[in-house]
Structure 1
């Protein structure tokens, strides 16, 4: 039994869609939601969860990005382009979030046999299955020249359209992906390229920041030649779950999860303020 079948076939999944909450839905809230849901799944009060979410015109920096020598100048440039900037409190480097980018979280109970690598493999297998109708071959390997590069960059014909990350907290695992669905992947990459140019200015840095080549990134619409939307990909995602035999039910947050979310959001806000005060 493969990883995807093992986790979806005859398994019960809750589905929470936050893709249409609009411009005031802050990316820090998403971190808090995933942490709260990880806790719920980890303590057994919730089944596994599929969460979809979209944020408008936001740049999420990594902690290392916040330590760049001229990071304030880089942030001012992003603000001038109309982007809200936050710092994530986990690994990874700068990424773009906007209306054409769909974020997906798979939240499962952490088990000893469910390794970090298996978490990546699960998301990779899901996206391969999701994109099967479009006749494309999806690869998982680092795309040098992309922003936030990693060994599980997802690409078609050498062009990156997605990146995967993981968060583990109190017995729960959130495997997260951003899918560049529509718009220009290279234009988004140019934005981050200019951020690094302004934030580094040729000075020594404490880490190897990505030297971005905008042409290494594209959207699924560009790569498939079809006019895809966030909603059409969510529809295909739900179909994929059902085709794999998952028992999927649309869901909202329980009162316990809402309280947990409030606690996690306050914690994340305070931590973000501390990071900002220290490095920005």
Structure 2
């Protein structure tokens, strides 16, 4: 995909904004995952674009592959010892950390059933958007795998070789969600140490057919550190919104229609069942109530 196509996508489009402050749900953890799936159905059906911002508080978001660790329960104890909760998300990938210093953000877009969006095209949209947002600070990120980070992938975003964000995708029917976590501020070294200890406890030196990263905290940093500025999660969110507005996009509040809410309720129950199945007695009951 060329740069012109990427810029065109982010210019003169309409977006509906969904965020935690407007959500009519009491459960602020599973709700975000269930809402993502509901929005995927919604944008696919009505051909609309959505933005979804959501925070977490001391939460490790596990991928399905993490549940394959031979000593998974021992690994979960590590997370508890770091005073974090955990949840298994409804998509692939590996463990990432969410807390008050991390911004979780999704572009949720429709795609034509006969012309699916290439995987890398979705990644390029997010990569370009984030670089436009941080451009005023005199640096841009690169996209390549930082192998010893947690949840490494081809579109890890880094500055000066240090990863501050990771991008993933989820697709349902005729919708695609391009999701990013951005370590804006806080103690990134501690986040990485927790995930390193999680895998060490889960593997205990055994060889398995799945690949789990040997996490090196030194290859990760916060965006605040890498830009040498003071930066909050709310400020980073506003940088993203301002970038779209400056490109002649319109942003309006998302509407929680009865159809969306019904779809959400179904997705919520699926998330609870998945976590009950994957985590068993280790499940954090406060997260699923």
TM-score (norm 1): 0.93
Residue pairs, 1:81-160, within 5 angstroms: 81-111=82-112, 112=115, 114-160=117-163
- CA drift of 1:81 comes to 1.6
Distance 1:25 1:154, change over 3 A: farther
- The match for 1:241 is 244
Task: Specify the alignment match of 1:259 in structure 2.
Answer: 262
Contact 1:138 1:156 in 2 (8 A): yes
Which of residues 163, 166, 169 is equivalent to 2:166?
Answer: 163
Secondary structure of the residue that 1:260 maps to in structure 2?
helix
After superposition, the CA RMSD in angstroms is 2.0
Say how many residue pairs are matched. Answer: 277
Q: Is the 8 A contact 2:78 2:194 kept in 1?
A: no
Give the structure 1 partner of residue 73 of structure 2: 72
Structure 1: distance between partners of 2:165 and 2:282: 28
Q: Please tell me whether the aligned partners of residues 87 and 272 of structure 1 are also in contact (alpha carbons under 8 angstroms).
A: yes
Give the C-alpha shift of residue 19 in structure 1.
6.3
Residue in structure 1 matched with residue 37 of structure 2 by the alignment:
35
Normalised to the residue count of structure 2, the TM-score between the two structures is: 0.90
Change (3 A) 1:17 1:278: closer
Distance (Å, rounded) in 1 between the aligned partners of 2:229 and 2:196? 27
* C-alpha separation in 1, matches of 2:210 and 2:281: 17
Query: Structure 2: which 5+ runs fail to align?
Result: 284-289
User: 8 Å contact 2:149–2:219 — kept in the other structure?
Assistant: yes
- Give the SS at the match of 1:131: helix
Partner SS for 1:2:
helix
Q: For 1:51-78, what per-residue CA distance to the aligned partner results, in whole angstroms no more than 9, with x for missing partners? A: 1110111111122211111111111121
Where in structure 1 are there 5+ consecutive unaligned residues? none
| Structure 2: distance between partners of 1:123 and 1:68 | 31
